[in-house]
């Protein structure tokens, strides 16, 4: 049989090799190295902080947060889960993973929210951004591990960068969606009162899109968690590494323990961020109001009295 390959063969792999090895790496390596500086700084700080924080203080703190945002059930679950993780001897790994996750999500938000807003406000930007997001979401993460290693080396930070690439799309997409879905008549009203684009964004679009944006953040967080094992392949530590070494040594016990740790962490973070998103739509202003009224407690009391007197 004749096939097109008999006529022309395309050496795509060679092209990519020479592009990355001979062009990208020698010319841009310092640039990529510089790019990881902020990631390194944030990660270092967070990692140090979480490892410094005593286990009991952290557990108490996170339980309290869970209780305030997601209710008693989630708080009890958080408490039990964290105690369990400590008991199976994975506390330090969990803290490493948590600092990695928080770093990745932080950078995803820093990159993703502005990009989402930008693509919501300009169809042209969306036209460019959307196919890139499609590619990011469909391409298997193993494929970009190689160039990441070549450009950034191995270790925690390259692992985080791979995680950022993997987890970035939902926050961009949902920020874009949230802003675009703000009711047109509200935009018109804001415009009719002479809002600038920034005022419109800040006063109307962003607050009304916040719920959707929080859903995007939640998705990003979940994707970041699902990357921890893959990131361990290129030298990131934490629970992912426990699973990875367990896999390498056929140590099913260690792998299971690491896996359970990841799942428990995922459930805690998911519940807390989800309830943040849900409450934001209805409660965030009143929460702010509560804070404000707490600040001005004496004053408002006086006003009430004055009102009654009048």
Partner 1 sequence: MKPKLRVENVYKIFGDHPEQALEGLKQDKSKIEIFEETGQTVGVQDVSFDVREGEIFVVMGLSGSGKSTLVRTLNGLIPPTYGKILLDEDDVASCSAERLRKVRREKITMVFQHFALFPHKTVADNAAYGLKIKGEGAASRRKKALAALEQVGLAAYADSYPGELSGGMQQRVGLARGLATDPQVLLMDEPFGALDPLIRREMQEELLHLQKKLKKTIIFITHDLNEALLLGDKIAIMKDGRFVQVGTAQEIVDNPADDYVAAFVGDIDRGRVFDAAHVAERPITVELGEKGAAEKALELMEEHNRNALYVVDRDRIAGLVTYQELAVAAREEGRTDLSEVLVTDVPTVARETPLNELYGAASAGYPIAVADKRGRLSGVIETEAVFSQLSGEDNDAATAATNDAELSAKEGERQ
* Interface contacts to partner 1, rule CB under 8 A: 183, 185-186, 188-196, 199, 203-204, 207-208, 281, 284-285, 289
Closer CB to partner 1, residue 60 or residue 287?
287
Closer CB to partner 1, residue 111 or residue 187?
187
CB 281 → partner 1: shortest distance, Å? 8
CB 39 → partner 1: shortest distance, Å? 33
Q: How far apart are CA 211 and CA 58, in angstroms?
A: 27
Closer CB to partner 1, residue 183 or residue 249?
183
CB 219 → partner 1: shortest distance, Å? 23
CB 174 → partner 1: shortest distance, Å? 18
Closer CB to partner 1, residue 37 or residue 290?
290
CB 201 → partner 1: shortest distance, Å? 13
Closer CB to partner 1, residue 129 or residue 182?
182
Closer CB to partner 1, residue 51 or residue 292?
292
CB 115 → partner 1: shortest distance, Å? 23
């Amino acid at each position: 049989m004749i096939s097109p390959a008999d006529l022309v063969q395309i050496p795509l792999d060679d092209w990519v090799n020479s592009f990355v090895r001979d062009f990208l790496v020698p010319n841009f390596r310092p640039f990529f190295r510089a790019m990881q500086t902020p990631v390194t700084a944030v990660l270092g700080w967070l990692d140090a902080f979480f490892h410094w924080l005593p286990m009991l203080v952290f557990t108490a703190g996170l339980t309290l947060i869970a209780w305030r945002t997601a209710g008693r059930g989630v708080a009890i679950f958080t408490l039990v889960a964290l105690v369990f993780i400590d008991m199976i001897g994975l506390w330090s790994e969990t803290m490493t993973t948590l600092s990695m996750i928080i770093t990745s999500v932080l950078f995803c938000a820093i990159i993703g929210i502005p990009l989402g807003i930008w693509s919501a406000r300009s169809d042209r930007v969306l036209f460019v951004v959307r196919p890139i997001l499609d590619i990011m979401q469909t391409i298997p993460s193993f494929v970009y591990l190689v160039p990441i290693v070549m450009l950034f080396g191995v270790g925690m930070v390259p692992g985080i960068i791979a995680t950022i690439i993997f987890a970035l799309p939902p926050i961009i997409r949902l920020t874009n969606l949230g802003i675009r879905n703000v009711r047109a008549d509200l935009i018109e009203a804001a415009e009719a009162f002479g809002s600038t684009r920034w005022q419109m964004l800040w006063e109307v679009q962003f607050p009304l899109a916040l719920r959707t944006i929080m859903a995007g953040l939640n998705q990003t967080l979940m994707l970041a968690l699902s990357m921890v094992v893959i990131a361990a392949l290129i030298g990131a530590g934490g629970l992912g590494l426990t699973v990875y070494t367990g896999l390498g040594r056929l140590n099913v016990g260690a792998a299971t323990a690491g896996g359970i740790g990841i799942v428990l962490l995922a459930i805690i973070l998911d519940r807390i961020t989800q309830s943040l998103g849900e409450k934001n739509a209805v409660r965030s202003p009143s929460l702010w109001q509560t804070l404000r009224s707490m600040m001005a407690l004496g004053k408002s009391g006086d006003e009430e009295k004055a009102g009654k007197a009048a």
